[in-house]
Amino acid sequence: MVDRSKILRNVLIVAGILAAILFVFIALTAVILGQSSAESFRSSYHYDLTISTSGPIEDAILLIPIPSCYDPETGANVTPIDPSRAGFSNFDRDNISVRIEYVEGIPMLNISADRIDPIYKNRIVPIAIMPGQNESELPKPTHVYSDRYSEETPVLVEMELHVTSTSPGEIDTRTPIGTEPLFAPYRIVGTLNSSGGPVDDYYVSPGSSGYFVEVPFILSFDAEGENVLTFSADFQGVNQWWVMGWQSNSYHESVRHTFRGPCNSTYPVKGILVTGEGVY
């Protein structure tokens, strides 16, 4: 006769052992993942600026908003943007000055030059490869550059500036106002809809929050009346860590605007601040 109580007792013992093994496994996994997250955690700021002008601008002083915040230890506004560590593309660094200038205690990016010429290039037309033809035998496409628009050089090239810097601690990506660098000086002019989707040429992730902001561009230059000067500035603060793959959360700010003709004033420009993107 089968001793059912003995079988049940053995089943319970095995179940207890399996439960203990499972608990230890979960605990060790949590420790390993936590350690991996802590060791891989990093926080950084990323700033990107693009500028294009359809024609030459002269006697140019462009004061462009950059992210900054108040530092109570120094009693001053500070910025993570360091032009000496920036990467430049299509900038005439021999003739165009790029530096930080403080305007009423607020750091702004000063781009100035006696003259800033546009850059145009040709379009590269794909070359068809015939059956049996060796690709290495084809002529190599080359770019042709010019400082004016023509049928040969119809593509306007943007001047680009990129800066990345590390943060000494975790970035407050949910509530960056008052705690993290933002384009300054700024004025909040509206609130974003948290349902997400396209908003004024920007895309907002569902569940994110944010604001419409207004920042000043201080511009002084001479140009032809039909000249088009375009700015696009983006800034992001991001936390990243590794847990079964890279995870992150962030806030970002974007400002884009087009100016026509000569400028000699302060111009309020509308932008967008999106907070609370990613994994928390």
> What DSSP letter does each residue of 94-121 carry, written as one string?
TT-EEEEEEETTEEEEEEEEEEE--EEE
Q: What is the value of pTM for the model shown?
A: 0.80
Strand partners, 239: 43, 249
User: Mean pLDDT, to the nearest integer, of 13-28?
Assistant: 64
Residue 33: predicted pLDDT? 47
User: Mean pLDDT, to the nearest integer, of 218-236?
Assistant: 96
Asked whether 273 and 209 are in contact (CB, 8 A), the reply is no
Mean pLDDT of all residues belonging to the chain: 86
- The neighbour count for residue 231, using CB atoms within 10 Å, is 19
* Between 126 and 222, residue with greater pLDDT: 222
User: Mean pLDDT, to the nearest integer, of 157-172?
Assistant: 93
Sign of the dihedral defined by the CA atoms of residues 79, 57, 52, 189, in that order: positive
Going by pLDDT thresholds of 50, 70 and 90, the confidence category of residue 124 is: confident
Going by pLDDT thresholds of 50, 70 and 90, the confidence category of residue 161 is: very high
pLDDT digits (tens, 9 = 90+) for 41-96: 899 999 999 999 999 999 999 999 999 999 988 899 999 999 999 999 999 999 99
Whether the ω angle into residue 56 lies within 30 degrees of 0, i.e. cis, is no
Residue 133: predicted pLDDT? 66
Q: Is the pLDDT of residue 269 over 70?
A: yes
**What does the block give as tokens for 272?**
């967008």
Going by pLDDT thresholds of 50, 70 and 90, the confidence category of residue 245 is: confident
Q: Is the pLDDT of residue 142 over 90?
A: no
Residue 198: predicted pLDDT? 64
Block residue for tokens 């915040």: 69
Residue 3: predicted pLDDT? 61
Percent of the chain with pLDDT over 70: 79
pLDDT digits (tens, 9 = 90+) for 175-212: 999 999 999 999 999 888 666 666 666 667 776 788 99
User: Mean pLDDT, to the nearest integer, of 228-256?
Assistant: 92
DSSP classification of residue 13: H
H helix or E strand, kind and range, residue 22:
helix 4-40
Residue 7: predicted pLDDT? 64
Phi, psi of 125 (to 5 degrees): -95, 125
Q: Is the pLDDT of residue 13 over 90?
A: no
